[in-house]
Structure 1
Amino acid sequence: MAFRGPKVWLWRWRRNPLKRRADVVEGWVVLGVGLLTVLAGVLAGLMVARSVTQGLARERADWRPTVAHVVAAVPDAHAGRRHISHDARGWAEVRWTVADGSVHTGRVRVAAGDRVGTGVTVWTDSHGHLVGSPVPPGQAAFRADLVGTLAGLGAALVPFAAGFLLRARLERRRMTAWDTEWARLGPQWGRMV
């Protein structure tokens, strides 16, 4: 096993008569790829997290709870079952009126057994269309952080992979040059011993 000395920081940029041009190029590639990877990951992550935060805040500001009334009876979800859950829900058609006076209908999940005319709370957007309930601020922050982190990792992967491929190509080129030199000098070396 070969003995290796202590790790020397910034060895690629130190003077050395045995250092080849390929070593210098690889040093700059490693530095550039490292900086690009960190920069792309951080910027993409921050931008995506900010966008998600703003989008979810806009939803919380625009979406409103509205009282809708059941128009068709909900089928009994317990028919033929032995064990009945107290929070069983089924799909029902409901109707609601928006601020401009127009009437909308849609299907939502309501408690099983709700009768026609029962009021249920639904969430609507500014046009009166059904939407889900908005994400609470705590969950919105978590979601924005998670999506931003994943986007940052994905964006950082691009320069990292490109740098990996470039270094592999430089290594192949260096090994080819080494083989060429060895083919030229190898026979002379044997005569000296």
Structure 2
Amino acid sequence: MNAGSVDIVRRTCRRVGLDRNPMRRREDRWQSGVGILLAVLVLVTVPLVAVLIGRPIYDAETRAVQQETARLHRVDATVTEVGKTPLYAPITPVKVSWRDADGTARSGDYHSNVLVEVGAIVPVRLDATGRLVEPPSPARPMSRAVLTCAAVVAATVIACAGGYLVLRCGLDRRRARLWETEWAAAGLTWGGRGAN
């Protein structure tokens, strides 16, 4: 380590209360220690949550999406009417028609995520009753896993920050009482009169 690196390490240790300053009270060391412990807890929580909570949720949701998709029947439908695409979403409402397995003509509303024209062929999904349905989103497993992990990490951060603030307030009150006691003792020593 060069001299600049050593100075940075010393300054950092002094700022977080890990130096050997004789003016630091036991309460100051407690506060620093608990703060570092809680910071490490938050940093360890993120990968643990991803492995222990996020991965099982992702796997379960992936299986659910695959099962839902397997229950749907794919049919090629013809676009019969194209609606107006809203500005806020790249989804075009269209009317489509198709024939069932027995040859019956059917029609329904469909939302295309690509631009289509009348007469275009689009793949649609039907449920067991022959009703037109949207297939489950392939992004659903990842989004649910990420949202759940984010909620757990946020709850951990809030709990750790709240615990630290409660500890700090309690230690601040204790430091204030000790400060007043020491000033009263100093008044007796320095002036001989003590507190009035």
Range into which the TM-score falls when normalised by the shorter chain? 0.5 to 0.7
Query: What is the correspondence of 1:23-42 to structure 2 with a 5 Å cutoff?
Result: 23=28, 25-26=30-31, 29-30=34-35, 32-42=37-47
Moved more, 105-114 or 124-133: 124-133
SS at match of 2:80: coil
State the alpha-carbon separation in 2 of the partners of residues 159 and 146 from structure 1.
20
Q: Find out whether 1:43 has 2:48 as its counterpart.
A: yes
What fraction of aligned residue pairs are identical, expressed as a percent?
13
State the alpha-carbon separation in 2 of the partners of residues 127 and 154 from structure 1.
43
SS at match of 2:125: strand
- What's the offset of the Cα at 1:112? 2.8
- Higher relative helix content: 2
Q: Deviations over 1:48-73 (max 9, x none)?
A: 34303430343134304511545x83
Query: What is the correspondence of 1:159-174 to structure 2 with a 5 Å cutoff?
Result: 159-174=159-174
SS at match of 1:113: coil
Question: Gaps spanning 5+ residues in structure 2: where?
Answer: 1-8, 85-90
> Does structure 2 conserve the Cα–Cα contact (< 8 Å) formed by 1:37 and 1:157?
yes
Question: Gaps spanning 5+ residues in structure 1: where?
Answer: 78-87
State the alpha-carbon separation in 2 of the partners of residues 68 and 58 from structure 1.
24
Return the letter of the residue paired with 1:122: V
Q: Deviations over 1:80-111 (max 9, x none)?
A: xxxxxxxx95421546759xxxx986421352
**What is the CA RMSD across the aligned residues, in angstroms?**
4.7
> Does structure 2 conserve the Cα–Cα contact (< 8 Å) formed by 1:66 and 1:121?
yes
Q: Which structure is higher in RCO with an 8 Å CA cutoff and minimum separation 6?
A: 1
- Could you say which residue in structure 2 is the equivalent of 1:62? 68
Query: What is the correspondence of 1:98-113 to structure 2 with a 5 Å cutoff?
Result: 106-109=108-111, 111-113=116-118
Seen in structure 2, the aligned counterparts of structure 1 residues 104 and 74 have a Cα distance that, compared at 3 Å, is closer
- Could you say which residue in structure 1 is the equivalent of 2:5? none
- Could you say which residue in structure 2 is the equivalent of 1:191? 191
State the alpha-carbon separation in 2 of the partners of residues 181 and 74 from structure 1.
85
Moved more, 178-187 or 20-29: 20-29
